[in-house]
Amino acid sequence: MLMSSSGHGPSIPRRVLSGWVPRLLAVAALAVVGLFAALGAGAQQTGQMRRIGVLMGLAESDRQAQARAAAFREGLQTLGWVEGRNIRIYIRWAETSDAPAMQRFAKELVALQPQLILSHNTPTTAALLRQTHTVPIIFAVVSDPIGTGFAQSFSRPGGNVTGFTNIEPTMPGKWLEYLKEIAPRVTRVAFIFNPVTAPYAEYYLGTFKVAAASLAFEAIPTPVRDTSELESAVAAQARRPNGGLVLMTDSFLVTHRAKITSLAARYRLPAVYPFRDFIEVGGLLSYGDDLYDNFRRAATYADRILKGATPNELPVQAPVKFELVINIKTAKALGLTIPPLLLQRADKVMK
């Protein structure tokens, strides 16, 4: 055994030591490189966290609004975008009647510098466009994107906005056909909308009037701007016999759907609605776009934008999934007998 010159331990030959030193330096260098690589990987992972804003046009307490936001989240997760792992979602809620709050929330979301913003409807999209023309915006439920100036065309939107519509020009005619089928005694129909939250209503009034004439209905355009006007409009329609109601796709009307269906029941007026939301709170019949499907489809556009696409590359899409929902209990309360063929065509029947 070799001893050191001091006699306290083994002595390492100089030729062995000279071989170890380079190896030790190499190991140390590799450790340093590994450390920097780990730090770089962590930084890259942090950099991959994307921000998504969401501006909803209903109150946070609204169960249907929560379900639609959840459909968007689920759609993202299916495509590999998971909150806390590679995306963060910032949601703001504001009823469309509260314009100051909506504008404030739009400004907040844009200030977060998100990669994109999901916009619920026409008022939320208008509010966001007052704040930005660069952040990509995907709308989930817009009735007339061309007329409102959100897009130049369906195939080439032309700006920072694209998304999904929830109505087509033939829809007012379909609503009237269903009203005739479920309540054949009706001869006068009030077409209710809020001109502030549904500035696109005029576009559909022409179709409504033409369809009403072909079905021998008296068409009564009925704009309302607040809940007091809403009650007055329903009461006025009930003063004469054989009246009925058709409601426009309008966020104001959706917000106050419980009040509207209650008024229709109180004044015993058959009514056709654009969404199943109304039927779930006592409405008679609805025919329209499946809004949950719109929010799920919006996630596919979010995925494409997060991967580098621009809104102008993504065409505005028309609705593809419609549903007919009937409330038998409400029909009985109004003294209506639902034709068997209509019941067979229904996607959902509530009892």
Question: Which pLDDT belongs to residue 35?
Answer: 41
Write down the domain spans for the chain: 49-167+291-313, 171-290+322-350
The reply to whether domains 49-167+291-313 and 171-290+322-350 share a CATH topology is: yes
User: How do residues 37-71 score in pLDDT, each as one tens digit?
Assistant: 333 333 333 458 999 999 999 999 999 999 999 99
Q: What is the mean pLDDT of residues 287-301?
A: 96
User: Is pLDDT at 11 greater than 90 in this prediction?
Assistant: no
CA atoms of 248 and 223, how far apart (whole Å): 10
Please say whether the beta carbons of 172 and 207 come within 8 A. yes
CA atoms of 143 and 250, how far apart (whole Å): 9
User: How do residues 16-35 score in pLDDT, each as one tens digit?
Assistant: 444 444 444 444 444 444 44
36: confidence class by pLDDT, cuts 50, 70, 90: very low
| CATH T-level fold of 49-167+291-313 | Rossmann fold (3.40.50)
For the chain, the average pLDDT equals 89
Question: Which pLDDT belongs to residue 203?
Answer: 87
Class of domain 171-290+322-350: alpha beta
Q: Which residue's structure tokens are 């063929």?
A: 341
User: How do residues 191-222 score in pLDDT, each as one tens digit?
Assistant: 999 999 999 998 899 999 999 999 999 999 99
User: How do residues 63-76 score in pLDDT, each as one tens digit?
Assistant: 999 999 999 999 99
Going along the chain, which residue ranges are E strands? 50-56, 87-93, 116-119, 137-142, 161-165, 188-193, 218-223, 243-247, 271-273, 285-289, 322-327, 348-350
The helix/strand/coil state of 163 is strand
More confidently predicted of 130 and 2: 130
